[in-house]
């Protein structure tokens, strides 16, 4: 008997801005489908542009990263739709994966910590440290590496709110003993089925190599951070134990768990 069709909703939070995030998400879904021999169909919802939001009838939900402040959009019509959707998904126990901007809004909505601007923008391939043996980290080491591209951070966790919802912090940013600042929260398991991350586990090597080679972005990074920063990013993209490993592991682990597939 043929495997049933898996329906996946992807919420596009990029607000019409050029990005590689959506391309990478779709690529990972297709590779997972082929590897597991599970047919999928996916629908994209451009929430910030058109107000589209998925209904409750999908098997799996993924909500992308995106530009802008996770604080300033509060009470905007699209933001209200999104937070209502988050409440619905939480109540229904649906498998939901939240990336970067989506994660920040969820943390704001559920009051899980303090959302602040970083002292400086973060961009690069950086280490992330798991805090638990959660199945989402199956096949990854401590630390594992992923693309970070963010101006905001979540610190000062609200332990009471986390405990009340049955959630837990499962990863923190890189260890930096020379910096007297609290390490940012990089991943939270909101409940058994909903997880959110501050980084970009969807990043794939080829797409990111092309992205960072674009003249406008390259010049912007060099102007803001210096040529060494750009060269380091390019070199790290070629390391199979960094982006490539995370891209082939993290979201596939979420998908396996969502469909209750035993982890290898």
> For every residue of the chain, which 3-state class applies, written as one string?
CCCCCEEEEEECCCCCCCCCHHHHHHHHHHHHHHHHCCCEEEEEECHHHHCCCCCCCCCEEEECCCCCCCCCCCCCHHHHHHHHHHHHHHHHCCCEEEECHHHHHHHHHCCCCEEEEEEEEEEEEEEEEECCCCHHHCCCCCCEEEEEEEEEEEECCCHHHHHHHCCEEEEEECCCCCCCCCCCEEEEECCCCEEEECCECCCCHHHHHHHHHCHHHHHHHHHHHCHHHHHHHHHHHCCCCCHHHHHCCHHHHHHHHHCCCCCC
231/125 Cα distance (integer angstroms): 11
Residue 174 predicted with pLDDT over 90: no
Mean per-residue pLDDT over the chain, rounded = 92
**Residue pair 144/127 in contact by the 8 Å Cβ criterion:** yes
The pTM of this model reads 0.94
Using pLDDT thresholds of 50, 70 and 90, give the confidence band for residue 180.
low
Using pLDDT thresholds of 50, 70 and 90, give the confidence band for residue 54.
very high
Residue 177: per-residue pLDDT: 65
Residue 179: per-residue pLDDT: 64
Boundaries of every domain in the chain: 6-118+152-202+248-258
Residue 3 predicted with pLDDT over 90: no
pLDDT digits (tens, 9 = 90+) for 34-45: 999 999 999 999
Residue 264: per-residue pLDDT: 42
pLDDT digits (tens, 9 = 90+) for 57-110: 999 999 999 999 999 999 999 999 999 999 999 999 999 999 999 999 999 999
Percent with pLDDT over 70 in the chain: 96
The CATH number for 6-118+152-202+248-258, chosen from 3.40.50.880, 2.40.30.60, 2.60.120.10, 3.30.470.20, is: 3.40.50.880
**Residue pair 259/40 in contact by the 8 Å Cβ criterion:** no
Strand order in the sheet with 96-99: 40-45, 6-11, 60-63, 96-99, 194-197, 185-189, 168-173, 114-130, 144-155
pLDDT digits (tens, 9 = 90+) for 97-149: 999 999 999 999 999 999 999 877 888 899 999 999 999 999 999 999 999 98
Using pLDDT thresholds of 50, 70 and 90, give the confidence band for residue 5.
very high
Residue 263: per-residue pLDDT: 45
| Residue 52: Cβ-neighbour burial (10 angstroms; 0-12, 13-18, 19+) | middle
Using pLDDT thresholds of 50, 70 and 90, give the confidence band for residue 162.
very high
36/155 Cα distance (integer angstroms): 37
pLDDT digits (tens, 9 = 90+) for 212-229: 888 988 998 999 889 998
């Amino acid at each position: 008997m043929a495997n049933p069709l898996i329906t996946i909703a992807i919420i596009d939070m990029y607000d019409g801005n050029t990005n590689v995030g959506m391309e990478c998400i779709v690529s990972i879904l297709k590779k997972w489908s082929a590897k597991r021999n599970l047919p999928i169909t996916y629908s994209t919802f451009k929430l910030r542009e058109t107000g589209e939001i998925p209904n409750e009838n999908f098997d799996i939900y993924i909500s992308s990263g995106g530009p802008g402040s996770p604080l300033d959009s509060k009470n905007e019509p699209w933001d209200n739709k999104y937070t209502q959707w988050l409440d619905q998904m939480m109540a229904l126990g649906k498998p939901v994966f939240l990336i970067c901007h989506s994660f920040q809004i969820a943390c704001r909505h559920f009051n899980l910590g303090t959302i602040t601007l970083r002292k400086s923008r973060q961009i690069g391939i950086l280490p992330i440290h798991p805090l638990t043996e959660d199945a989402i980290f199956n096949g990854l080491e401590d630390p594992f590496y992923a693309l970070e591209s963010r101006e905001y951070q979540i610190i000062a966790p609200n332990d009471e709110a986390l405990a009340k919802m049955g959630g837990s912090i499962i990863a923190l940013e890189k260890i930096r003993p020379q910096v007297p600042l609290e390490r940012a929260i990089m991943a939270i398991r909101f409940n058994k089925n909903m997880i959110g991350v501050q980084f970009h586990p969807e990043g794939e090597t080829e797409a990111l190599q092309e992205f960072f080679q674009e003249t406008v972005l390259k010049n912007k990074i060099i102007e803001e951070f210096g040529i060494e920063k750009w060269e380091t990013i390019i070199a790290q993209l070629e390391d199979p134990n960094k982006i490539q490993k995370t891209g082939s592991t993290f979201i596939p682990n979420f998908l396996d768990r969502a469909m209750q597939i035993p982890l290898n």
